[in-house]
Structure 1
Amino acid sequence: MITATSMPSSADRKTFDTQCPFCSVQCKMEVTEERAASGARPVYTVVPKLNAASEGRLCIKGMNAYQHALTGDRILQPLVKKDGHFVPVSWEEAYLLIKRKFDALSDNGGPDTLGLYGGGSLTNETAYLLGKFARVALQTRYIDYNGRFCMSAAASAGNKTFGADRGLTNPMSDIPLAKCIILAGTNIAECQPTLMPYFTRAKENGTYFIVIDPRETGTTAIADLHLKVKPGMDAALAGGIQKVLLDEGLIDEKFVNERTTGFDDVRSSLESLDLGEIADITGVSAEQIRQAALAFGKAATAMVFTARGVEQQTDGYMAVRSFLNMALMTGNMGKPGCGYGAVTGQGNGQGGREHGQKADQLPGYRLIENPEDRAYIAGVWGIEPAELPGKGVSAYEMMQKIHAREIRSLFVMGSNPIVSNPNANFVEEGLKKLDFLVVADMFMSETARLADLILPVSAYIENEGTMTNLEGRVLLRPANRPVPGEAKHDWRILCELAELLGKGSFFRYESSEDIFEELRIASRGGIADYYGITYERLRKEEGIYWPCPSVDHPGSPRMFEAKFAHANGKAEMVPVPVHFPDERTDDSYPLNLTTGRVLTHYLTGVQTRRSHTLAARDVESYLEIHPVTARKHGVREGTLIKVASRRGEIVVRCRLSGAIREDTVFVPMHWGDTQNVNKLTNPALDPTCRMPGFKVCAVRVESLF
């Protein structure tokens, strides 16, 4: 419960400053624990704290985040599986088991038999250390993380287009200054609700909103124009809008000529498009496409935001590039009220992809295959460049290598890959083949249930560190609540394991701040340059935007004001061809399935489903289907139905809604086991960024009664 009940003795009251562990806004809060008498159950009060990012707001998830952290479900000591059951062991026994297994596998098959799998909710310090642990302590090339499924399309597109990837190219305070805003494939009202007031202020200022989504949502409610696109056809729709911009002479020729390359090829590609054909394949009328283009092209200032609806496609990279073309050809970059934003999903989805837990990456957004980058990081770490392993593979491709027995052991930290990966039955089969699975988690997740060893880790309210929010603002998350039981900070576990593996001299840290001091140096001169950011500055200034190259630098709220990050200072535009989803409907699987989130839950639900307040609001998963479609397929409101794809099937409850396209059904992503929607999703990958096509696959539905 959340209450303001007062207690007489300050000795019975403890207050903890912290930061929400969930979405990418990273709201700050104060949690007070009070006891009426010795031995009594505590009462908790949660108060949002004023800060520049969330402006002192908390959503229902943040208000109740303490519940999962303080639940009795926490794992509080190492657990090893014996005869199919978990039994407690000491940390010494747990570490010795890991060393014995890792040494044997590495000696027999080489270090690449070992894999590490991280998460986008880990602090910058832990993400940095996990990458270093993989490459220095284990010397394996195989490390990736669940953020691959969140930000890889937008990150790749930003890097190729601008020369740098930061979620928002401008601060959130710019949002109310835009006269037209496109929200493509994002449901901010449910996924980042404390961000919505920025958009409502824009609406009050007269901003024209274009929302692209196959469903009506809390976000489409603010739309002046809702484009109900067919799932998977976002790039084609963006191309149609650009076709009208070109035909109507709404191109900023001066900006294009002075600050971009490649527009001549884009122009030729757009001239060949037929708007009627675009309307047919996207399900959006030619008139609506024209209406969107004229509103965007004639606006004095405009912004484009994309999220998973656009990005989690087999053409996610090119789809984002198409929307970036739109912003560039109209000159809407580098100015107040103008810019692009990839609405990051995970709490540290931005920082988590910057400092080395991606397969192809080193700290500071350096590339592991770049000789200069390798030499610099090797120098920071005190090793030879040749000792750094090469590039690994993406998260789902790691699961394929596990299935093929190329990766024989997996160390999972801060993730639940059985529920978050596509083609989940295949992933589960692979994890069961492993010789040794270690999971570092607070809870018995669906993945942890398969582990040979579980290591208990601290919660957000106990583990200090930095997080980088969706706008590139680095925030210091304080955490002074004692760690319960025998749980340890995730970074501490990595340091102690490194010591046992004979690499302890590379991991001499006594605090998260020690790690951050090294991260600062490792990022120096990189794209994501944190060198000028310190804990002392963060405590005083609350948050600092990267890049921040020196301690007297104010940070960079708005990027690309004078030039882009490519060597020539220009942004790169490319033609984007029409692309259809990898898997299309047919007589056997006649409906498009798309996935997403609900307000009360987060990612795979491991944390939020352990909050009694949140779980009570959304107890189970469901399938949203149009009433006309439901009648056609013989399914009724409130009944259990089977949903099947070419890969598997799930059972969920039916919800009828006129808010969704008749050819499309929707299932949220927060539940596992028989409700795990990723048993259905297609593992086909984007050829550039290796993002799976989560947002569209072909399914059929049938009643169980």
Structure 2
Amino acid sequence: MADCRYNSSVIGGENCSVKLSERQQDKGQFKILFNFGSNSTVSIPDRKMVAKGLSKLDMLVVADIFEVETAQFWREPGLNPKDIQTEVFMLPAAFVYEKAGTMTNSSRLVQWKEVALEPLNESLPDLDIIDHIFKRMRELYAGSTAPKDAPILKARWNYDDEHGEPSPLKVLQELNGYDETTGELLSALGDYLSAPIGTVSTGCWVYAGVTGKGNLAARRDGADSTDLGLNRNFAFAWPGNIRVLYNRASCDAQGQPLDPERKLIWWDAAKGEWTGNDGPDVVDKTKGPDTPEGKIAFKQNPEGVGRLFAAAYTSGLPVTPSADVLPIRNAGMCVDGPLPEFYEPIESPAENILHPKVQNNPCANIVSTEFGDVKEYPYVLTTYGVCEHFCAGGITRNIPWLNEIMPEPFAEISKNLGKKLGIKEGDQVEVYSARGKVRVRALVTDRLQTYKINGKDQETIGMPWSWGFASLNPGPSTNNMTMAALDPGAGTPEYKCCLVNIRRA
């Protein structure tokens, strides 16, 4: 897991870190937890559930740069270590510049990087740690005939380089994929898509082609003769090094660019193929615009066309499919309906004027069990980050000069609210919700203004959330107060809105 805003992966509309914490505190169903680069003790909303869950583990293994709050959760003020039987192991991990591998950003650009600095002392890259643990586990399971152990014993685990050390490039090659009939790397995405089922493998199909003709993610040629900012020889963009997705939509019905000054792709009748300045995002490069395949501009959608809303749909199935026919492409719809809809947060000072009878999302996954009333908690808390501290602060709160610039969390309020409550800049205040409270300094600014919502004045309190009880720069955790209510589709918690009150401390 990356040390990210939600410290989670999302499966089936559930935020796995939040749901794990909920189930663990209630049932204690997990015995061992491996925690890589995640600091959920700080980042999870309504975070007291995290300590309760971790306290029910038999063993917790934390791999990180510093001893973050999660690695020493039993030391948090208010907890009694004598009541916590969890055995905790801290594995020193390598920092980003101390390991090779790839970084992929939101523009789909996969960029390879080499080791810049050797890891300090006994710290190791994540890959090395996982590799050592898995190999040791397989040794312990050797000779077992139990079906449940077969995945461990039969797993293809061959990431060693010529020196016997785990190679990040071997991992990227596995993501790229192999032709299982020859053992050769797949050279392009088309090789994977056109192969018979069972003849190719890939760790992630959209990465097919990234290492098939050398490590394309390592390319650093920034030249761009098109002046379109495509830079197709710089690193690798998934899938297929296509820089603009759905670029078939940039052409007319005859396959020619709608904008001659900004040509992405076009149909070359002489060559009988789609070509262009970008990689053609089409079903088949040899199928012209007069064919059913060549007309499709949105090939990732099973319907092949753009959508105003998403409905459950499966393409590639006959009306009466036989038992051996597999669905080719599936499309699901949003968990809470085919079209976006507005609902108020679970805790809100306002009525839903669009749907007075349906205040909140009826499909919301509500984990918190304590809720505040607007009469007792009249203000809206919204949380945010600051430039000096990244996410849960596991690294940045251990860097002295960043702590000097941003030494502590704060509660940012409008001048109107400050005047109303007699709170001045720098005053100690207590912010509290139905779930918890913190004591911080007040920041009275013009950045926050009094809103007019449904004809009523409404105040907002803004607070950064990157602090915890450990590190060089400990501080109170804003997520003491936040609400663990999850969006049913993405699993994103309501970090941006819950009800609180504030008073001078």
Q: Distance in 1 between matches of 2:16 and 2:308?
A: 26
- Select 1:490's aligned residue among 116, 122, 126: 126
Query: Equivalences for 1:461-500 in 2 at 5 Å?
Result: 461-500=97-136
Q: What TM-score comes out, normalization by structure 2 length?
A: 0.60
1:410 Cα deviation after fit: 1.2
Asked if structure 2 preserves the Cα contact closer than 8 Å seen for 1:448 and 1:454, the reply is yes
Q: Which residue of 1 aligns with 2:461?
A: 665
Question: 1:393: how far off?
Answer: 6.6
Distance 1:492 1:417 in 2: 23
| Correspondence for 1:394 | 16
Q: Does 1:692 align with 2:493?
A: yes
State the 1:528 CA deviation: 5.9
- CA contact 1:593–1:698 (8 Å) conserved in 2: yes
Q: Deviations over 1:46-71 (max 9, x none)?
A: xxxxxxxxxxxxxxxxxxxxxxxxxx
Q: Please name the residue that 2:301 is paired with.
A: 566
> Does residue 682 in structure 1 map to residue 483 in structure 2?
yes
The amino acid of 2:107's aligned partner reads E
SS class of match (2:55): helix
| Number of aligned residue pairs | 321
CA offset digits 1:331-352 (Å, max 9, x no partner): xxxxxxxxxxxxxxxxxxxxxx
Aligned equivalents of 1:528, 1:661: Cα separation in 2: 48
RCO higher in structure (CA 8 A, sep ≥6): 1
* CA distance in structure 1 between the partners assigned to 2:119 and 2:341 by the alignment: 53
C-alpha separation in 2, matches of 1:146 and 1:655: 26
- Unpaired runs of at least 5, structure 1: 1-117, 122-144, 149-356, 361-390, 550-554
Gaps of 5+ in 2: 74-86, 139-151, 161-166, 179-188, 194-201, 222-233, 249-296, 310-338, 350-373, 451-458, 470-474
1:648-686 deviation line (CA, Å, top 9, x unaligned): 111111000121132111001211135211111100111
CA distance in structure 2 between the aligned counterparts of 1:650 and 1:475, rounded to whole angstroms: 41
Q: CA deviation at 1:358?
A: 5.1
Contact 1:529 1:546 (C-alpha < 8 Å) held by counterparts: no
Equivalent residue runs for 1:91-102 within 5 Å: none
Matches within 5 A, 1:219-618: 359=11, 394-404=16-26, 405-450=28-73, 452-502=88-138, 503=152, 506-510=156-160, 511-521=167-177, 525=193, 529-534=206-211, 536-541=215-220, 543-549=234-240, 555-562=241-248, 563-564=297-298, 565-574=300-309, 575-585=339-349, 586-618=374-406
Provide the C-alpha distance between the structure 1 equivalents of 2:437 and 2:210, rounded to a whole number of angstroms.
48
Instruction: Tell me the residue number matched to 1:126.
Output: none
- Cα 1:490/1:147, change in 2 over 3 Å: same
1:168-207 correspondence runs (5 A):
none
Deviation of 1:493 (Å) = 1.0
How high is the sequence identity, in percent, across the aligned residues? 26
SS of corresponding position for 2:383: strand
Aligned equivalents of 2:376 and 2:431: distance in 1? 12
Q: Which amino acid aligns with 1:506?
A: R
Partner of 2:206, secondary structure, is: coil
User: What is the CA–CA distance in structure 2 between the aligned matches of 1:392 and 1:691, rounded to whole Å?
Assistant: 8
Larger Rg: 2
Compute the displacement of 1:546 (Å).
3.0
Alpha-carbon shift at residue 392 of structure 1 (Å):
8.5
CA distance in 1: counterparts of 2:205 and 2:307, whole angstroms: 20
Supply the distance in 1 between the matched residues of 2:402 and 2:3 (Cα, whole angstroms).
22
| Cα deviation digits, residues 498-551 of structure 1 (max 9, x gap) | 1121137533212100111101118955986111113632323464343343xx
Higher helix share: 1
Counterpart contact for 1:456–1:488, Cα < 8 Å: yes
Alignment RMSD: 2.4
Q: Which amino acid aligns with 2:67?
A: M
CA contact (8 A) 1:640 1:652 kept: yes
- Matched with 1:303 is none
The answer to whether the 8 Å contact 1:466/1:474 transfers is yes
In structure 1, C-alpha distance between the alignment counterparts of 2:14 and 2:156, rounded to whole Å: 22
Contact 1:634 1:702 in 2 (8 A): no
